[in-house]
Structure 1
Amino acid sequence: MEFNQYQLFLHNLDLSHALSNADIGRNPASDATTPFLLAPFLSINSESPYNLYYLHKPQQFSAYVQDKMEYKSLIVNFGVRFDWFHPDGQVLANPADPNVYSPLEPQYQDSVVAPIGGNITAADQHAIAVQRRTAFWYKNATNKYQFSPRLGVSFPITDRGIIHFSYGLFFQMPNFDELYQSPGYKLQIAGSTFLGVIGNPDLNPEQTTKGELGVQQQLTDDISIDVTGFFNDIRNLSGTLNEIVFVTGGAAEYSKFVNTDFGFVKGVVVTLDKRLSNSWSGTLDYTFQIAQGDASDPNSAANLRASGVQPETQLIPLDWDQRHTLNATLNYVNADDWGATLVFRFGSGTPYTPLQTSNVGELLYNSALKPATYDFDARVYKNFKLGGTTISLFARINNLLDTRNALQVYTDTGLPNVSLAEQTLISANPPQRIATIQDYYTNPTFYSEPRRIEIGTTISF
């Protein structure tokens, strides 16, 4: 059994939100006497959309019961996991009227909710009206729970080989950010058509059904091979495709996170394992997988609507759809208390969405691949014994060959260091600023970490 209570706190004050291009792009050579940023400070009272605050204490409880049955030629593991989640949040009672501080429905206006005469000020009347509206403006999100059965079976097929099978359901709550985004639902409706995305504390848990079927065979006394096929059926992922809320009056709309997205992963894993013998051990595993779904980002449908594009449901490769993965480790252990490890990793390119060109009728989501990546890591150590104390000196080298792997690319070229937009901007011969165009497009985060060497020691008593 396990019980967790989290405490999530946010207080975000945005004092200079209203920046313009003229403020950001000032030329210090010609404007040396003026401030670099000229935007005014914004209102930060409790009703302002630039003053966001929340304090949530969600709770999670889980328990797992398992029984193992062993027979002469069959081993069965059966278990059930129970998960319970208390979101500690509220949702709107009337989604068409989201802002409790500025209601749209006539019956919720200050003068109706708080019809107080006398010498009371408009500010006091508004405060009383907000307090009264808050009592019925929200509904508590419901607790979520799930029973998840798990089953595992294995039986021999030869004196050195077995077949293994597993099947189970899994429960996972969405990211807390998707539950508590846009606290207070203080949406600015005036002058806007799409208001963005709000959180939904009443999201259901993500449900994954996993299954595996494989065969393991001992080839020699110290070498074995395992071939396993697997699938993951992922449902109730958070998304924004099917939830559009039109505010009262129909002049604007917003979206919220709901359980609309899905994914499906299938593949096969081949593992070759050598146990330690004659000072050597190692592993080699290869994975082929296909990961598809309707969206990789829960905000993708809302982002399309914000740009004026109507989203569609289609099966696409997910951002982490890496078709080929190869990992290898080689270990050497010497009788004189020293050893070394070499690790190799290779991964085929993951998908990205290329920039739409004029001769393409519709956007092809995740239809291109980033470059493949590979790297080597190494570790060596030497142990010394001083009485009852063991001192170990070690050195770790990450990215041994200092490989520049491209983790991100520019969508107009598919390369990490070349963008057509950069050349277009340079050809326009813009005035010199504090930073250059080349500085902007030379992005070190597009590459993997360079070689890193760590030297250290551990002492064991």
Structure 2
Amino acid sequence: MNFCLIYKTTRRCDMNHKILLLPFLIIFITSTIYTQTGKISGRVYNEATNEPIPGANVILEGTRLGAAADMRGNYVILNIPPGKYDVVISAVGFVKTTIRNVIVSADKTTFLDVALKEEVIGLPEVVVQAERPLIDISQTSSRATITSDDISALPIANFQEALKVSPSNYSGYIRGGRRYETKYIIEGIDISDKYYEAFSGNYGGNLYTTYHGLSLTFRENVNLADVGVGAIEEINVNSGASSAELSQATGGVVSITLKEGRGKISGKAYFRYASRLPHKGPDLYFGQLPDGSTAADKYFGEKRALEAKGDPASLAKARLYSWTPGKYWYGNKPTIELETSVGGSLFKDLGFFTDIRFYETHGRFPNEFNRQLNITGKLTYNLTPSIKLTGIGFINDQGFYFGWKNRVFNENYKFFLEGVPKYTKGSFAISGKLTHALSSKTFYEIQVSLLTSPTEAGFVDSNGDGKVELNEDKGEFIKFSTPEEIRKYISKTDKTKFFTTTPRNESESEASFPSSGPYPLARPGAYYEYQRLTQVNVKGDVKSQITNNHLVSAGFDLKFYKLTHLRRYTVVGRFDVEDYVVKPYEIGFYVQDKIEYSGIIVNAGLRADAFNAGASEIDNYFAPYTVKTEQIQLGGANEVLTVNRYILRRNTAVKTKWLIGPRLGISHPISDKASMYYSFSRSMQIPPFSALYADAYAEMHGTLPNIWLVDQEPLKSTIYEMGLQYVISNYFGIDVSAYYKTIENYVPLAYGVTPRPGVAITYFIRFNGGYADSRGIELTLNSRALPIANLFKLSGKLTYAYSYIKSLVVSPDALRGQNVTAFSTLGGDSAKYGGKLPFENARYFAGYEMNVVSNLSSSFTGYDRPHRINLSLFFDFPSPFKGIPIDFRLSTFTTAASGFLYPLILADPRSRKLGEGPWNIRTDIKLEAGYSIGRIRISPYLEIKNLFDRENIIGYDRTTDEGQLLWEQKKIPTGPLGLTVFRDGTSAFDIAREIYFGISINF
């Protein structure tokens, strides 16, 4: 076993270990954590008399799953992995019947009543083709299901793009929840990014993007892992009130089920290619600015002016203007993707499925590069007729395990991209599950899993010459962990050293433009980061169909985390270090009864969740630190940096947070063509770890950072929902739902504290409070394949969503003493509160409700798009050539959303009026031709993103008043500097037209 995958810290595994990784990952027996299986139930009866047929056998072909009908002809089959099955029904004296392609989905009941014909000599076996139902009468809350067939047909490349078909989702935001409020689960393994640093941008995010060129987009992913789309059997987007089995999630739950190998060995190979990726908006170097010039004009103009001066200092600085057009690749290199999967039964009781995906892109902007390798394996083994072992293992590598470096573009450093840190990421998961059927109606599962996700970022000096050059990617990151490394690379006084202690504050190594923050020419800040999040999950469940009408389940869920965080960097004349390890944990228990009658289906459950931060809180907020002086030898002659480290005193243990939440869902089938559903849930979710620990253990200077309160309350949501499903005709079905959701502790708040008199040091401690409420309606219209004039078949889905989310805005009355947010020792607050702070008072703050607007960048919005429309259409053309087995499919996917909301600086603030950006509309298409030769199908295709090359504005420059005025008055999103990409790494525009060519081969 390659333990370096799990326990590696900063030393690379050797090549032998890397080679061993592939077979290990594919064969390792692993498991699921959450229930991701379905159920089939129904009645077997005599077609002629309608009498039940006791003892009729119902078998899922190619599996050990099945059941016998009882005296009333009723049967139930539990614990079925999602997928398509051929169901065989047989009984003595009756004709054997097979129903093909019956769809089973996770956490759903597929109702299948079967009428058998009495056996007559010469009567052949009956074979029936199942159709995907237009409505799901067992549905008790909103959920969108995306099958492997949908994924294969749509013009999408990964599971994040597949989520767009859900009306509840926009850019990762589900029904008012922020991105980190949505759980992402692969076969039960929770891959959600618990840290999610993009949330913590108030201090750390802005510091590192401003001074060190790190981008928020580098940290915006809310899932730690990925799998190839060829490995996915089904995706379920649970946006309503979830069942008691699902743990904390105040936004939604995205559950992914992987394919399972059954029957003959089969597979698929896939290739996708784009020659280049352009972008919308002005060229980053030669695009015209509002003053008529370009960034390149200003750059070369300054260089010529320095050369004209002729003095040694000016000439030395002129030599730093080393950028030339074409120095960095810029949207002109290809993007490629390869994926292959194979699976089936090795033996009667042993099945496997494995998928390998490789992806590489040079992006749309200068010097970008991202390479990913995904390996997924699933193994199932029926140890006995009643005991099944199931396994999942996957790796998602972005260079951490196999050694390459990825790069991001940063506007601050666009003329000196050597000064932008590179990064590697990875994730590795294994899990093992035992399923034991005590009877045909009762089973239990025991599951254990491990997920580890490391990240490393910084600079590489491959040849060890003390300089970081453009393409130096091989070898270790510079860790700045020894006196020798520090002296070799860092100096304030010796300008030959690559790194300075004052990045972006050194005039001799910066251009003179723009005035809002000149572009560096050399001498970035030193930076190294290592972070690893490891989680161990232990879970047990028991389910029993105690009667035909009651499926009772109960279980426990234990999660243990270990977060290791190390960051070393120079900034504002200092060398700072963040180094800590925390071990939070979660526990959960649930009980649930799924009650199914012909006229009503009820999911009733109760769940208890708890979280402990595994860290300590500040003892005395008015004396929060001790001072430790440290002297660091830098690279200049006799250069010593004196650093006063303000070390926070944290010795007060935090308490465990509990929530007991009821979960209730009701479906009322009015007929076989209509059903109403109602749901309610109460759930909680912990804040992202970045909002608990970021800067909490930092050793900082002067004014302390914005420190997050570790002992924060979790987010708590209450969801109410009702909906109606109706079959309009044999081809169309509709689902309409309305919801109301409240979220407690949604709003970030802060207290300002001045620790002691006579010292101008004020720090801010941030915590959550307040509330938000989200309301909306959603509509989904589904269509089966509809024949059009014998030319083609048309199917598709149309969704519409209207929503708004309002949150508490703390009133300016705080300035008049109504909302007290400032405390000081001099003012007597230390004595008054005994060294503590009255965080509980925040619940009584005066304020008003206002639509939520993103506080980071408009590229991170999603909950503020009131109107959203999705339309997917599939045109299936039969072979136009007689006798030639070739067919065609055209798939289109169109999204339309009203514009983002933004604050108006010219309007009267008392009006609380918000502006609204332009609508975003985009159409993607995929044209595929399929040619079949026996079991082999070859399908070349053309895929076009943003078919009409529409300019969709998704953000604007809000870093200066001038930028906001240009947007508000002239609708120019790029600001005075013509920023296509903003300094936090987000963009003003959605993608330009992109053209991909590909081929898939099924065998």
Structure 1 match to 2:902: 352
- In the alignment, residue 797 of structure 2 is paired with which amino acid? T
Deviation at 1:159, TM superposition (A): 5.1
Deviations 1:338-366 (A, max 9, x none): 312111111111211123x4xx6647767
Q: 2:904·2:913 contact (CA, 8 Å) conserved in 1?
A: yes
Report if the CA contact (8 A) 1:286-1:324 is conserved.
Answer: yes
Deviations 1:196-242, CA, capped at 9 Å, x for gaps: 4112332222111111112222111121222211111111225124x
**Matching residue's letter, 1:201:** V
1:20 Cα deviation from its structure 2 partner? 3.3
Alignment partner, residue 160 of structure 1: 673
Find the residue that maps to 2:967 and give its secondary structure. Answer: coil
The within-5 A match list for 1:243-282 is 243-249=751-757, 251-278=760-787, 279-282=793-796
The one-letter code of the counterpart of 2:805 is: A
CA distance in 1, matches of 2:691, 2:456: 14
Are 1:50 and 2:548 an aligned pair? no
Q: CA deviation at 1:21?
A: 7.3
Native 8 Å contact 1:406 1:448 kept in 2: yes
Matched, 1:451 2:936: no
How far residue 66 of structure 1 moved from its aligned partner, in angstroms, is 3.3
Q: Say whether the 8 Å CA contact 1:99–1:184 is kept in structure 2.
A: no
Q: Which residue of 1 aligns with 2:30?
A: none
For residue 184 of structure 1, give the secondary structure of its aligned residue in structure 2. Answer: coil
Q: Does the CA-based 8 Å contact 2:695-2:705 persist in structure 1?
A: no
SS of the residue corresponding to residue 188 of structure 1 reads coil
Offset of residue 162 of structure 1 = 1.7
Deviation at 1:153, TM superposition (A): 0.6
Task: Report matched runs for 1:52-71 at 5 Å.
Answer: 52-62=578-588, 64-71=590-597
> Which residue of 92, 95, 101 maps to 2:627?
101
Structure 1 residue 258 displacement after superposition:
1.7
Classify the secondary structure of the residue corresponding to 1:203: coil
Determine the structure 2 residue equivalent to 1:180.
Answer: 693
Give yes or no for contact 1:352–1:365 (8 Å, CA) kept in 2.
no
Greater length-normalized contact order (CA 8 Å, ≥ 6 residues apart): 2
Q: Is the aligned partner of 1:74 residue 2:587?
A: no
2:884 matched to 1:333?
no
Q: Which amino acid aligns with 2:800?
A: Y
C-alpha displacement at 1:245, in angstroms? 3.0
**In 1, Cα distance between equivalents of 2:782 and 2:771:** 34
Q: Which runs of 5+ in 2 are unaligned?
A: 1-32, 35-448, 459-479, 481-498, 514-519, 528-567, 630-643, 788-792, 816-820, 823-844, 854-862, 880-886, 957-962
The residue that corresponds to 1:317 in the other structure is 851
| 1:52–1:183 CA contact under 8 A, matched in 2 | no
Residue 746 of structure 2 corresponds to which residue in structure 1? 237
- Counterpart for residue 427 of structure 1: none
Matched, 1:405 2:914: no
1:292 paired with 2:292, answer no
Contact 1:8-1:56 at 8 Å conserved across structures: no
Q: Are the aligned partners of 2:503 and 2:523 in contact in 1 as well (CA < 8 Å)?
A: no
Alpha-carbon spacing, 1:261–1:222, altered in 2? closer, same or farther (3 Å)? same
User: Does the Cα contact within 8 Å between 1:353 and 1:411 map onto a contact in 2?
Assistant: no
Contact 1:96–1:247 under 8 Å retained in 2: yes
DSSP-derived class of the 1:314 partner: strand
Stretch of structure 1 that moved more, 401-410 or 276-285: 276-285
Tell me the residue number matched to 2:716. Answer: 207
Q: Which residue of 2 aligns with 1:92?
A: 618
SS in 2 for 1:240: strand
On the 8 A contact 1:375/1:400 being kept in 2, the answer is: yes
The amino acid across from 1:381 in the alignment is E
Against the structure 1 CA distance between its residues 386 and 61, is the aligned structure 2 distance closer, same or farther, given a 3 Å change threshold?
farther
The residue aligned with 1:114 is none
2:961 matched to 1:418?
no
Aligned letter for 1:269? E
Measure how far apart 1:334 and its partner are: 3.4
For residues 87 and 183 of structure 1, what CA distance do their matches in structure 2 show? Answer: 12
Structure 1 position 420, deviation (Å):
11
Whether the 8 Å CA contact 1:7–1:58 is kept in 2: the answer is: no
TM-score norm. by structure 2 comes to 0.35
Partner residue, 2:49: none
Identity %: 22
SS at match of 1:406: coil
What is the CA–CA distance in structure 2 between the aligned matches of 1:209 and 1:393, rounded to whole Å?
48
CA distance in 1, matches of 2:597, 2:457: 59
Number of residues of Structure 1 aligned to a counterpart in Structure 2:
393
Distance 1:4 1:72, change over 3 A: same
SS in structure 1 opposite 2:941?
strand
Letter of the 2:871 partner, please give it. Answer: A
Secondary structure (helix, strand or coil) at the match of 1:445 reads: coil
Aligned positions of 1:132-143 closer than 5 A: 137-143=650-656
What is the CA RMSD across the aligned residues, in angstroms? 4.1
Q: For the structure 1 residues 349 and 268, does the alpha-carbon distance in structure 2 shift closer, same or farther, using more than 3 Å as the test?
A: same
Q: CA 1:419–1:226 in structure 2 vs 1: closer, same or farther (change >3 Å)?
A: closer
- C-alpha displacement of 1:18: 6.1
Alpha carbons 2:980, 2:988 under 8 Å: kept: no
Following superposition, the deviation at residue 180 of structure 1 comes to: 1.3
Contact 2:953 2:990 in 1 (8 A): yes
Instruction: For 2:800 and 2:973, locate their aligned partners in 1 and report how far apart those are by CA, in whole Å.
Output: 34
Distance in 2 between residues matched to 1:224 and 1:20, nearest whole Å: 62
After superposition, what is the alpha-carbon deviation per residue over 1:124-144, rounded to whole angstroms, capped at 9, x for unaligned?
Answer: xxx9xx9xx98x742233333
Residue identity matched to 1:331: F
Change (3 A) 1:452 1:366: farther
Which amino acid counterpart does residue 292 of structure 1 have in structure 2? K
- The worse-fitting range, judged by mean Cα deviation, of 283-292 and 232-241 is 232-241
Deviation for aligned residue 1:248: 2.8
Gaps of 5+ in 1: 29-34, 104-126, 423-436
Residues 455 and 441 of structure 1: CA distance in aligned 2, closer, same or farther (over 3 Å):
closer
Checking the alignment, whether the CA contact within 8 Å between 2:622 and 2:753 is kept in structure 1 is yes
Please tell me whether the aligned partners of residues 74 and 155 of structure 1 are also in contact (alpha carbons under 8 angstroms). Answer: yes
In the alignment, is the contact (CA less than 8 A) between 1:289 and 1:324 conserved in 2?
yes
- How far, CA to CA, are the matches of 2:674 and 2:452 in structure 1? 46
Amino acid at match of 2:501: S
Match of 2:659 in 1: 146
1:400-444 deviations in Å (ceiling 9; x for gaps): 11111011134213368637973xxxxxxxxxxxxxx4x557869
3-state secondary structure, aligned to 1:96: coil
Secondary structure, counterpart of 2:697 in structure 1: helix
User: What is the aligned counterpart of 1:16 among 476, 495, 501?
Assistant: 501
1:10 positional shift = 8.2
2:915 counterpart letter in structure 1: A
Deviation of 1:41 (Å): 8.7
Displacement of 1:333 in angstroms is: 2.5
Q: Is the 8 A contact 1:353 1:367 kept in 2?
A: yes
Q: In 2, distance between residues paired with 1:363 and 1:373? A: 29
CA contact (8 A) 1:7 1:57 kept: no
Amino acid at match of 2:804: I
Supply the distance in 2 between the matched residues of 1:44 and 1:440 (Cα, whole angstroms). 27
**Cross-structure match for 1:118:** none
Q: What secondary structure sits across from 2:692 in the alignment?
A: helix
1:171 aligns with 2:684: yes
Quick check: 1:209–1:232 contact (8 Å CA) kept in 2? yes
